[in-house]
Structures are given as structure tokens and as C-alpha cells.
Amino acid sequence: MIGLGPVGQCALLCAQLFGPTRVFASDRVPSRLAAASALGGIPIDASNDPIGAIRESTGGQGPDAVIEAVGADETIALGIQLVRVAGVPSVIGVSTNMAFPFPMLQALMKALTFRIGICPVPELWDDLVPLLQAGRLRPERVFTHRMPLSKGAEAYALFDSQSDGVMKVMLDPSA
């Protein structure tokens, strides 16, 4: 997992539904690394050679799959570099770079299956709701702050400031 903002944290929760042995969780923000650790991820500080740390932990092979949740050229390229031969790098971070320098030869030589897209919620609703109802998926764990809807402007300002350990703010219309 590369990028541990709200989308990355939710992807971490979803990845665990598939029973992986380990989920490495990489970011540069200490509070996000701590949040991912609390959700069962193995924190990897992206400021300190994430490639070396993950390669060492996987016997030099790299992970079977990498989910990139940032959308930056640097992190997309990192995901492609990190994943093992015949692995699956997936990009769920939003990239608008139409000139992204896709490493075609590297992808070819590693026999990668590259996936990219945003969540098609209506198409997945029938799969998602039972997971929520059964308590197998608990996205509320990503919310760090709750505020009344009347304080929406303050909530957005808090989120934008990235202070007070904010990850995601829930606005409650009944409060």
C-alpha cells in the first residue's frame, strides 16, 4: 500500500478481506503510518528507502500486489518497481498526468498486470453492503473527527490543515 490518506486507509481495510499474510503500508506522514499500523498494516516510512525495506522483508522478491493511493508519478513508478515479477500494481490514486512516462519495458520484463481506476460504487454496492452489515468491513475506523454539519466549513479547514491527526471528518446532520 502506497499512500495512507483516507483512500489508502480504506484500501488497507479492503485488502485485509482477502487474507494476505502481510500488508506493507508506506507513507511519509508519521500519523498516517501509526493509523495504518493500528489497522493491521506493517508501517514502512517512505522517507527511508521503502524499496530496500520491502525487498528485505520479502526475500528480495517484492509483494504480490501493490496498491498506489496517491496518484503522483513518483508513487506510481514506485509501485511498479516494488511489485514482484508477475505481480499486480494497481493505481487508485487520481493521476491527471496525460504524459506519465509508463515504464513499458520494465512492465513487460516483469510480466506485470497493471490496473488503474476509481471505485465504481454502484457496481460494487451488492458486494459492499453485506461486508458492512456483517462487520467485516469497518470504514468508520478511518474517521478521526466528527463534527455537526453546521460546522462544515470548519471541518474542511481542519482537513485541509492536516493538523490534530485528522484523517477523515464525518459531518453529522443530526448533531
Q: Domain holding 106: CATH number?
A: 3.40.50.720
pLDDT of the chain along its 175 residues, tens only? 999 999 999 999 999 999 999 999 999 999 999 999 999 999 999 999 999 999 999 999 999 999 999 999 999 999 999 999 999 999 999 999 999 999 999 999 999 999 999 989 899 999 999 999 999 999 999 999 999 999 999 999 999 998 898 999 999 999 8
Contact 83, 89 (CB under 8 A): yes
User: Domain span at residue 12?
Assistant: 6-121
How many domains does the chain fold into? 2
Predicted pLDDT at 112: 98
Predicted pLDDT at 165: 87
Question: 137 in a domain, yes or no?
Answer: no
Question: 66 in a domain, yes or no?
Answer: yes
Question: 103 in a domain, yes or no?
Answer: yes
**Hey, what's the cell of 10?**
480504506
Question: 129 in a domain, yes or no?
Answer: no
Q: Specify whether 155 is located in the same domain as 108.
A: no
Q: How far apart are the first and last CA of the chain?
A: 35
Question: 64 in a domain, yes or no?
Answer: yes
Long-range contacts: 98-103, Cβ < 8 Å, 24+? Answer: 100/73, 100/76, 101/73, 101/77, 103/77
Question: 136 in a domain, yes or no?
Answer: no
With H, G, I as helix, E, B as strand and everything else as coil, classify residue 15.
helix
Question: 62 in a domain, yes or no?
Answer: yes
Q: Specify whether 26 is located in the same domain as 87.
A: yes
Q: Specify whether 147 is located in the same domain as 100.
A: no
